Amino acid sequence: MAEKRKDSKGRILKTGESERKDGSYQYRFTKNGKRYTVYASTLKQLREKEDEVQKANILHIQYTRGNMTVKELLEWYMSTKSNLCQGSIGTYMTDLHRIEKHSDLMDIKIKDVTTADIRELCKKLLKAGYATATIQRTRNDLMYPAFKLACSDGIIYKNPCDFHWDLPEKKRKKSLSKIQQEQLLSLVKNSPKFSPQYEWIYILLNTGLRIGELLGLTMKDIDMQNRIIKIDHQLQTVSYDGYIHYIKKTKTRSGMRIVPMTFGVYENFCRVIDSRPANAQELTIDGYNDFLFFTRNDTIRTYATVAYLMKQIQDEYNRQYTNDPIHLTAHILRHTFCTNLVQSGASLNTIQYVMGHKHISTSLDVYTDSHFTDVSDEIVANIQRFGLNPDNAATQLPVYTNFYTK
């Protein structure tokens, strides 16, 4: 009588079962003349899958899923995340759109996807100008767990996203100089084509708001009498199979803040209010209404329209000022405002508060610009001298917000 096969722990293996070199297990069986293999991390998990096979009802579905495409896999993975908030769903949908736009990966069968394919996707996204953090999120928070789900379900054996990727060094954002700021505002204000965009560009440049914070502002969020802006949410838009707008509530205490208006910001808000469409109050998104920023077609302004206009303005600026070109985005305007605060002598904790930075180290990044290296060293030295943690210094220092009152 043949000796019964056992695994490395001495447990008897059934017909079709075997232990792999890496300690995982597999079960091979034949159905309708075709040979199938099921994989699992443990013997217990393997036998649970064997039970499913024996029940047979899901056999054909379960083991032909290897023919599903990457798009089908990602949508299946998202369907398992039943407790996602609207914001997270929006992020996943945006990531799906990004993959679909910049690669042919979505149509490939998951059993044919290799690590080289995932690396190539990352390279294409990097070349398209996406931040390394965005690429990491797409890979680590969407693709990796989706393929992991396929592995745990026995559809594929190896996760093609399981590799080390040496990210390129993060490019430092370049703020606009004082002259560039003046030239930009002058160009926009005096251009028949771009002048309708002047107000929101001026407000971004002089408040440091995130673009989602600006676009999400309603009449209830601005106190024109006291000249302050209350920030506690953002407007987000997902462009996947049409546009979906939703409100993303600020999650951290640092993000919830009050930003003072300069007189110039106040004047431009007055013009924004006066130019709103008659039906501005009718649009409601997640319980919010009476929004401030609309397009000339009376539709709510979105990040996509802002990015498109920024690119057009950038190209026109660089055409006129060929010897002093700029890179223009909403975030560059925010970064420029932060730099202006540094130059004005605002305290570090004040900058952190007004910008809504969760960690003071983010504010410190502005100081490490080539023009402020000495200032940065001095600030870090002072923080260390007083025994403060750079990431918590704002909670240990008094905050004041009336640092610019003109």
Catalytic residue among 331, 358, 359, 404: 331
In the residue annotation, 20 being an active-site residue is answered as no
Catalytic residue among 139, 233, 245, 357: 357
Q: Sort 289 into a burial class: Cβ within 10 Å, 0-12 / 13-18 / 19+.
A: middle
In the residue annotation, 331 being an active-site residue is answered as yes
Catalytic residue among 233, 334, 335, 353: 334
Catalytic residue among 251, 296, 311, 327: 251
**293 contacts 300 by C-beta, under 8 angstroms:** yes
DSSP 195-250: GGGHHHHHHHHHH---HHHHHT-BGGGEETTTTEEEE-EEEEEEESSSEEEEEEE-
**31 contacts 39 by C-beta, under 8 angstroms:** no
Catalytic residue among 210, 233, 248, 335: 210
In the residue annotation, 357 being an active-site residue is answered as yes
In the residue annotation, 334 being an active-site residue is answered as yes
In the residue annotation, 251 being an active-site residue is answered as yes
Token pair for 60? 């054909």
The whole-angstrom separation of Cα 72 and Cα 92 is: 14
For residue 248, what are the contacts with CB-CB under 8 A and spacing of at least 6?
A: 86, 87, 90, 212, 233, 234, 235, 236
The whole-angstrom separation of Cα 197 and Cα 268 is: 11
In the residue annotation, 233 being an active-site residue is answered as no
Catalytic residues: 210, 251, 331, 334, 357, 367
